[in-house]
């Protein structure tokens, strides 16, 4: 188990190091998320709809789109110079390879989410002083959920000719349950409700995470092995 | 090669026969529902759409369940017949889903007073529809048949796991936010005439499903044979 996890972390570290050298994905993902938040603000009629009513859905739509943009890159970098073949030749269990890719995607998306959360507070004029850690917990669980299937699909779509379009078509139905849970929980927390009130949603998200990470890890070998 | 093509032709012919019988049966259902079944006291003629709607919904769910099961078996056994069946079942499931999603609002407008409501069942059907649309689009986008089989099987299995989660989330969503629906369809114990028509309709629609899937399976086989001949 120890070596298994170490292999996964090695794969994740490789991806993070690669990204830190080019920074293209992180930078464009962050800018993209900030722009979506900005557009949400201009699409809202402030006299008709209060910021608090729109905030949870705006936040989660932004996070969902930013994740898709980031996921598109995850395996595209492996396609260049057939780097994926090298990874597959390495003595690496497929489950560990999946987990490594999953961790790396999680680090990228978590980074984008962390950077854009203050912008979200600023644009929507919110007070997160009491609810911020609840929202961070919800974001952690929901992101962990939809990246599970997202990582598998991103490995699939690079084999098609229109990967950028294929990924959202496949992934969005899988994003629905975690997004619905996250948006609901966020709405409650922003409304000043205690964390205990969203416990049902948190449990639901945790269950989704465990179920999908397990099944995706198990089926991943069918996606990468010839 | 031509043996494959001959087999495909036989399967298509069988599928066409089954479909023809089922279509005739569906026409019979209309006659039965309109002339020999009493109208509902409260819903009037609008209720007749249930003889199409409910069996189509049942078949769509069955089609998608079978996609999930055969996907799992395909990854385990690697038999191309399972993959072909899953693809055929997904396409036919989408067709039935279209029937469900069009007949539902037609009934909903006069009875509920709205075309659409985010009720748990409606939402689930809609997302299943999109999920399997994605499944078909992925299949079309992959050229290598082995890759296509493996990838779509993975999507099929993950889709199976997704269904209970979508159901649970929309259920939660509604229980946390109770919204009164003007009139909910209760499940009345049907009078025998209605039950007879409904059960016949279920049978006919299931036959239609089998006919369509057989047709689609045969066509897939013919396409593969043709492809193999071109590469040979």
pLDDT digits (tens, 9 = 90+) for B21-39: 999 998 888 888 888 777 7
Q: What is the pLDDT of residue B84?
A: 93
Compute CA distances B117 → A117, A220, B55, B114, B174, whole Å.
Answer: 32, 37, 21, 7, 11
| Band (A109; pLDDT cuts 50, 70, 90) | very high
Per-residue pLDDT band for B99 (boundaries 50, 70, 90) equals very high
pLDDT category at B174 given cuts 50, 70, 90 is: low
DSSP A162: T
Reply yes or no on whether the pLDDT at B130 is more than 90.
yes
Is the pLDDT at B5 greater than 60? The verdict is: yes
- Give the model's confidence band at A82: pLDDT under 50 very low, under 70 low, under 90 confident, else very high: confident
Residues of A contacting chain B (CB within 8 angstroms): 149, 152-153, 156-157, 159-162, 166, 169-170, 172-174, 176-177, 180-181, 184, 200-201, 204, 208, 211-212, 215-216, 219, 222-223
Q: Return the structure tokens found at A39.
A: 């557009």
Question: Is A176 close to B154, i.e. CB distance below 8 A?
Answer: no
Query: Residue B179: its pLDDT value, please?
Result: 45
Under 8 Å between Cβ of A65 and A36: yes
B180 pLDDT exceeds 50?
no
Q: Is the pLDDT of residue B124 over 60?
A: yes
Mean pLDDT for the stretch of residues B106-118: 82
| pLDDT in the model for residue A163 | 79
What pairs with residue B44 in β-bridges? B40
What's chain A's average pLDDT? 89
Q: Where are the beta strands (DSSP E) in chain B?
A: none
Weakest-pLDDT range from A77-81, A193-197, B29-33, B197-201? A77-81
* Average confidence (pLDDT) over A46-54: 79
* HSE-CB of B100 using CA atoms within 13 angstroms: 24
CB contact B155 to A (< 8 Å): yes
The least confident of A121-125, B86-90, B185-189 is: B185-189
Which distant-in-sequence residues (6+ apart) come within 8 Å of A226 by Cβ?
none
Tokens encoding B232? 């040979």
Q: How many residues does chain A have?
A: 226
Q: Do B169 and A204 touch (CB under 8 A)?
A: yes
Q: How confident is the model at residue B127 (pLDDT cuts 50, 70, 90)?
A: confident
Does the pLDDT value for residue A59 go beyond 90? yes
Residue-averaged pLDDT of chain B:
84
Neighbours of A162 (CB within 10 A): 11
| Residue A30 near residue A78 (C-beta atoms within 8 A) | no
pLDDT at residue number B181: 38
Contacts 24+ apart (CB under 8 A), B9-15: B9/B218, B9/B222, B10/B218, B11/B214, B11/B217, B11/B218, B11/B221, B12/B214, B12/B215, B12/B218, B12/B219, B12/B222, B13/B218, B14/B214, B14/B218, B15/B211, B15/B212, B15/B213, B15/B214, B15/B215, B15/B216, B15/B217, B15/B218
pTM, whole model, 2 decimals? 0.86
Residue B175 in this model has a pLDDT that exceeds 80:
no
State what percent of residues in chain B have pLDDT above 90.
43
d(CA A100, CA A12): 4
| Contact between chains at A201 and B172 (C-beta distance less than 8 A) | yes
């Amino acid at each position: 188990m120890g070596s298994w996890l170490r292999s996964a972390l090695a794969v994740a570290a490789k991806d993070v190091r690669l990204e830190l050298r080019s920074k293209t994905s992180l930078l464009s993902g962050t800018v993209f998320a900030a722009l979506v938040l900005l557009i949400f603000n201009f699409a809202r009629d402030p006299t008709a709809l209060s910021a608090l009513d729109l905030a949870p859905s705006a936040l989660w739509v932004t996070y969902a789109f930013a994740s898709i943009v980031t996921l598109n890159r995850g395996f595209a970098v492996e396609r260049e110079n057939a780097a994926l073949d090298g990874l597959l030749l390495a003595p690496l269990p497929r489950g560990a390879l999946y987990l490594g890719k999953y961790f790396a995607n999680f680090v990228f998306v978590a980074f984008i989410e962390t950077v854009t959360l203050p912008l979200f507070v600023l644009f929507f004029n919110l007070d997160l002083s009491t609810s911020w850690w609840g929202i961070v917990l919800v974001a952690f669980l929901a992101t962990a959920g939809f990246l599970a299937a997202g990582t598998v699909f991103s490995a699939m779509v690079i084999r098609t000719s229109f990967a950028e379009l294929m990924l959202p078509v496949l992934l969005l139905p899988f994003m629905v349950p975690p997004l619905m849970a996250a948006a609901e929980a966020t709405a409650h927390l922003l409304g000043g409700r205690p964390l205990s009130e969203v416990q049902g949603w948190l449990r639901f998200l945790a269950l989704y995470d465990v179920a999908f990470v397990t099944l995706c890890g198990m089926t991943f070998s069918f996606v990468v092995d010839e | 090669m031509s043996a494959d093509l001959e087999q495909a032709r036989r399967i298509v012919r069988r599928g066409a026969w089954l479909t023809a019988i089922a279509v005739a049966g569906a026409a019979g259902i209309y006659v039965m529902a309109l002339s020999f079944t009493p109208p509902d006291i409260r819903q009037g003629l609008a209720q007749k759409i249930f003889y199409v709607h409910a069996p189509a919904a049942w078949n769509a769910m069955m089609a998608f369940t079978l996609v999930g099961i055969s996907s799992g078996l395909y990854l385990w056994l690697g038999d191309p017949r399972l993959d072909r069946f899953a693809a055929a079942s997904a396409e036919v499931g989408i067709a039935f889903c279209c029937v469900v999603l069009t007949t539902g609002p037609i009934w909903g407008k006069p009875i509920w007073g709205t075309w659409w409501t985010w009720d748990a069942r409606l939402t689930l059907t809609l997302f299943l529809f999109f999920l399997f649309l994605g499944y078909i689009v992925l299949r079309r986008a992959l050229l290598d048949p082995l890759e296509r089989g493996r990838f779509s099987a993975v999507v099929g299995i993950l889709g199976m796991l997704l269904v209970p989660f979508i159901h649970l989330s929309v259920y939660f969503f509604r229980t946390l936010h109770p919204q009164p629906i003007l009139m909910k369809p209760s499940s009345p114990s049907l009078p025998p005439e209605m039950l007879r028509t409904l059960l016949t309709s279920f049978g006919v629609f299931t036959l239609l499903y089998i006919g369509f899937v057989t047709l689609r399976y045969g066509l897939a086989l013919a396409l593969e044979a043709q492809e193999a001949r071109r590469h040979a």
